[in-house]
Chain A
Amino acid sequence: MDTQAILILLGSFAVLIVGGIHIAYAMIGSAILTILFSKISLIVVVTTLIDGINGFTFLAIPFFVLAGEIMAQGGISDRLIKLSNALVGWMRGGLAMVNIVASVFFGGISGSATADTASLGSILIPMMKKNGYDVEFSTAVTMASSIEGLLIPPSHNMIIYAMAAGGLSIGKLFLGGLVPGLFLALSLMIFSLFISIRRKYPKGDPFSIKEVLISFKESIWALMTVLIVIFGVISGVFTATESAAIATLWAFFVTFFVYKEIRIQAFGGILKKALRVLANILILIAAAGTFGFVVAYLQIPTFISQAILGLTTNKIAILLLVNLVLLMLGMIMGMASIIVIMTPILLPIVTQLGVDPIQFGAIMILNCGIGLITPPVGGVLFVGSGISGVKIERLTKEMLPFYLVLLIVLLVVTFVPQVTMFFPNLIM
């Protein structure tokens, strides 16, 4: 093992990211330095960058991002909120429940916690405030529930994980995320109900089956996007990439020819927004190809695995440690970066302990999701603060009990494999 090369790789990477270099370029830069030190031909930088992104499955990522952007701007939020209101608005703290359930639907479509918070939050936070909810609570529940969408299929982060893990079944991963996502929603609903009773938040209109049917009829076009992907992939009719392409065309059709709330001229702007998101994600995936090559060349996963397993073989202790590492990274790094960097390092360790890679996918995504709403670097936290006008410090204080709920859910997902593995084992 070349200890000097490992120190150069990890040392330069740490200096570059802490110094504020873009993470993808910090990965490429540190890899270049290590390659030069190891006297390998620099041509591998090019070949590994191309190999990093050169996969048919990766095509699903831009498609899901575009489909999510089209739906998010095409009037879907109002319809999903109306459907959620008809389903759970009658409960105590009805609008908080609506917020959580709408995130299940919306997150399924967009797969992005930031888009979820921005789209639903801009409608629901003012609505909740008007109905007597504290603005801090309204924002906190919007942000916490936005994580559901990362787990509920389809999720482009699951695809990034699948590829970082060396090519897992996307169908199994999608199914694996379903129960943890719904369990998270249920946990947040129970907690919000408890808070709503204590703070005497209002109930919504009484339950009406007629209202449910009407709002379902209005939303079914949008919900079909999710159904195309889930059933397409699980039944084997489509691959993940194919289903994503069809979902994009469907989203385009529904938005511009069924709902017609925005004009076709707006499509250029939607494409531009999708490109901005992709500018971040795709280069990270390519960079992970180069960084991953050097990491594998230097046998770093084996080294870390031996170091941790040499310290303890206690499964509970190691899984707690893994969660702690991911949570701490989540506080300072973005989701896609953590997935592409940490999956090749941590997956071999947890699989040695008998954790299924599908289950670890749910653990990884949930950890990174929590990172999105924790300071100092939480993308969703910034969006929530921006929409509600509540300062990050006040939001973080209101979020404290929500963090506790999320950690309980994380522990359940980590230590009860059946929560994740039930559907994949049953169906596939």
Chain B
Amino acid sequence: MNSVNSGIQKISRGIYFAIEVIAKLIFIVMVFSVSIAVVGRLVFSKSPSWTEEIGILSLVWLCFLTAAMGVRDGSHMRMSIIEYVFNEKICLILHKIAYVVLIAIYLVFIVVGFDAVQMMSRSILPATRLPMSTMYGSIFITGILGLIMAIARLTDKECWN
């Protein structure tokens, strides 16, 4: 059991690191795509049509990838009223239930996200000509990543000591 748990933690750390690197790259792409649009408009009186679309696409992916990171960190905003009302033991149980609810939500993301990817694969984004599923795929991928992160958090003994 312990080896399974340590395997989950190892995999989640690796995935977390990968998400972080990708999110940083997306962030830089976002800044440059919008800056190129500004320079293009002010200097050449014309900005490339793809810049806005790449910016938005990056933002959508950044939003959902960082959400998965937040699950592993346990850093998402929540109300901490329970900590003032209940004792430590009940709080611990409620916190664990919170992660079970997250797992359920991420399962919905995976199932419905997959449907959305299939549905949108025939539509294209007008400027970049990329399939619309590149945008909607973010929910499906986040579903998988979030699920792994939530399970890793739930089974990480260090988080609950």
Partner of A18, one of B38, B79, B95, B135: B79
Chain B residues near A24: list those with CB within 8 A: 67, 76-77
A137 in the interface (beta carbon within 8 A): no
**Any chain B CB within 8 A of the CB of A150?**
no
Contact A286 B38 (CB under 8 A): no
Q: Are A275 and B35 in contact (CB under 8 A)?
A: no
Structural contact, A279 and B37, CB atoms closer than 8 A: no
Contact B34 A275 (CB under 8 A): no
**B115 (CB) vs chain A CBs: closest residue:** A43
CB <8 Å contact, B70 and A283: yes
Residues of the B chain whose Cβ atoms lie less than 8 Å from the Cβ of A43 = 112, 115-116, 119
Chain B interface, DSSP helix/strand/loop, else mixed:
helix
- The interface centre, meaning the residue of A16, A20, A29, A276 with most chain B CB atoms within 10 A of its CB, is A20
Which residues in B have their C-beta under 8 angstroms from that of A55? Answer: 56
Q: Is A306 an interface residue (CB 8 A)?
A: no
Q: Are B34 and A53 in contact (CB under 8 A)?
A: no
Task: Decide if B30 is an interface residue (CB 8 Å cutoff).
Answer: yes
Does A376 belong to the interface (CB within 8 Å)? yes
Q: Is the CB of B63 within 8 A of A53?
A: yes
List the B side residues contacting A53 at CB < 8 Å.
59-60, 63
CB within 8 Å for A241 and B20 given contacts A20-B79, A54-B56: no
- The size of the chain B interface, using a CB distance under 8 A, is 54
B residues in contact with A337, CB < 8 Å: 77
**Which chain B residues numbered 68 to 121 have a C-beta less than 8 Å away from chain A?**
69-70, 73, 75-82, 84, 91, 94-95, 97-98, 101-102, 104-105, 108-109, 111-113, 115-116, 119
B155 CB–A CB distance under 8 Å: no
CA of A118 to CA of B117, assembled, Å: 43
Q: Contact check, A66 vs B27: say whether CB atoms are below 8 A apart.
A: yes
A272–B20 CB distance below 8 A: yes
Q: Quick one: given A55-B56, A275-B66, A283-B66, are A268 and B81 in contact (CB under 8 Å)?
A: no
Task: Give the interface size bracket for A toward B.
Answer: 35 or more
Extra 15 A-B pairs, beta carbons < 8 Å, given A43-B112, A43-B115 = A19-B82, A20-B78, A21-B78, A46-B109, A46-B115, A53-B60, A54-B56, A54-B59, A63-B30, A63-B34, A237-B42, A244-B34, A280-B76, A282-B59, A377-B79
- Residue ranges of B at the interface with A (Cβ–Cβ < 8 Å): 20, 23-24, 27, 30-31, 34-35, 37-38, 42, 52, 55-56, 59-60, 62-64, 66-67, 69-70, 73, 75-82, 84, 91, 94-95, 97-98, 101-102, 104-105, 108-109, 111-113, 115-116, 119, 135-136, 138-139
